[in-house]
Amino acid sequence: MKLFRFKTLAAAAAAALLTVPALADVNVGVTISLTGPGSGLGIPEGKAFKLWPSTIAGEKINLIILDDATDPGKAVVNARRFVTEDKVDVIVGGSVTPTTAAVAPIAAESKTTQITLAPVGVPADQVHWVFRLPQSFAVMAFPLVEHMKKHGVKTVGFFGYTDGYGESWLKDFGAQAEQAGIKVVLSERFARSDTSATPQALKLVAANPDAILIAASGSAAAMPHKALIERGYKGKIYQTHGAATPDLVRIGGKDVDGSYLVSGPAVMAEQLPDSHPSKKAATDFVTTFEKAYGPGTRNQFAGHAYDAHIVLAKALPVALKKAKPGTPEFRAALRDAIEGMGRTVLAHGVINWTASDHGGYTNETGVMLKVVNGKFEVEK
């Protein structure tokens, strides 16, 4: 009887070990848009996550990747699962601004760091736990406005999403344009799910500004661009860093030739000067990603997923000195370590997060590109 009881207890203990994650494992919850309107962002991000090493700073990394279908409600469900069931140490995502914003309250409530893959503004009570990998709209608007000034643009039309992405771009770009003496003469908006933007395009063409800025992302950025060309617009067309993806030229075709866009440095690694601080990190990203997925597959969004690994590689060793993964103390220590990393070179630029700035990029970050014969080229 004693032998039987010992075996039973041993079996129970073994089963418990199989069902409870080891404290040494670092659990990372990832919510991205593998389907839906944002899949042009989420799919390359997912590919980049598959290339993460199995260990970082000597600790096993468990990536829990869930599709939020570009739906803020689904992103909330994913985030709730991460903090209640998976007991994650950090949340990465979402792919687009609305899903990212939906996750932020849950990250703050559970005191779990959220590293975002989309630019987002959050209320003051959530900022403490949210760190943004994408460059801020203000930082990326800077080279756009400088380029417009250089090319004599005096009036500009705005053609952007109806959601937070479009609203934030209009606010930050508009402020810098005004300071530069560039007037936003008309603002038109469209939803991410729209399949046509003809009425808005007609209004913008009729206004005939010197240039038009399209604030959209992924494959959706091509639709308003084509609408403008098809309605006879002859001025300069600019795109934001959300459009820095092969989908723009794949879907836009010849209509996007000659247009300009701003991008993080990772997309154009080979064309960066050797003096650029991100040259090595950007080259490493491109080499790794395109070895796995083929030439020309890199894009802005995969670069952010790659950079999230660089962040954890620097912050984890610091946090591990204070607490063990899977505990509230570790989550707090990891947050503090990320905020205190100091100057950190990423594939997408140099970041320096501080207690008052969880965006952290400088105005030198954005790289101006031009579409030439279906390819992105760095503007000289």
Domains annotated on the chain, with CATH: 2-135+298-351 (3.40.50.2300), 137-263 (3.40.50.2300)
Contact of 33 with 14, CB cutoff 8 Å: no
pLDDT band at 242 (very low <50, low <70, confident <90, very high): confident
pLDDT band at 299 (very low <50, low <70, confident <90, very high): confident
Q: Which residue's structure tokens are 């041993």?
A: 10
Mean pLDDT (whole number) for 32-56 = 95
Q: State the Cα angle at 83 between 19 and 334, rounded to 5°.
A: 100
Please check the confidence at residue 232 and state whether its pLDDT lies above 80. yes
What pLDDT shows up at residue 7? 42
Helix 300-320 crosses helix 279-293 at what angle (to 10 degrees)? 110
Please check the confidence at residue 338 and state whether its pLDDT lies above 60. yes
Order of all β-strands in the sheet with 90-93: 55-56, 59-67, 26-32, 90-93, 113-116, 130-132
pLDDT band at 120 (very low <50, low <70, confident <90, very high): confident
pLDDT band at 155 (very low <50, low <70, confident <90, very high): very high
pLDDT band at 282 (very low <50, low <70, confident <90, very high): very high
Amino acid present at 116: T
Rg (CA), the chain: 22
| Chain centre to alpha carbon of residue 197 | 25
Neighbours of 163 (CB within 10 A): 16
Q: Which residue has the higher pLDDT, 316 or 268?
A: 316
What pLDDT shows up at residue 24? 62
pLDDT band at 9 (very low <50, low <70, confident <90, very high): very low
**DSSP one-letter code for 237:** E
Order of all β-strands in the sheet with 260-263: 183-190, 155-161, 211-215, 236-239, 260-263, 367-372, 375-378
What pLDDT shows up at residue 373? 93
Give per-residue pLDDT as tens, 88-104.
999 999 999 899 999 99
Q: State the Cα angle at 240 between 91 and 246, rounded to 5°.
A: 80
How far, in Å, CA of 66 to CA of 86, rounded? Answer: 12
- DSSP H or E segment with residue 158: strand 155-161
How far, in Å, CA of 68 to CA of 39, rounded? Answer: 10
How far, in Å, CA of 189 to CA of 98, rounded? Answer: 16
Q: Which residue has the higher pLDDT, 149 or 268?
A: 149
**Per-chain mean pLDDT for the chain:** 91
What pLDDT shows up at residue 228? 98
Residue 94, preceding peptide bond in cis (omega within 30° of 0)? yes
What pLDDT shows up at residue 4? 36
CA atoms within 13 A on the CB side of 106: 28
What pLDDT shows up at residue 47? 98
The pair of structure tokens assigned to 326 is 């899977």
What pLDDT shows up at residue 276? 84
Please check the confidence at residue 63 and state whether its pLDDT lies above 60. yes
Contact of 196 with 170, CB cutoff 8 Å: no
How far, in Å, CA of 355 to CA of 246, rounded? Answer: 36
Q: Which residue(s) pair with 29 in the sheet?
A: 64, 91
Judged on CB neighbours under 10 Å (0-12, 13-18, 19+), 277 is middle
- DSSP H or E segment with residue 45: helix 39-49
Mean pLDDT (whole number) for 209-217 = 96
**DSSP one-letter code for 82:** I
The pair of structure tokens assigned to 373 is 């014969």
* Phi, psi dihedrals of residue 374, rounded to the nearest 5°: 80, 10
Mean pLDDT (whole number) for 296-315 = 93
Q: What is the pTM of this model?
A: 0.77
CB environment 191-209: b (16+ within 10 A), e (fewer): ebeeeebeebbbebbeeeb
What pLDDT shows up at residue 2? 39
Three-state DSSP state, 269 = helix
What pLDDT shows up at residue 167? 94
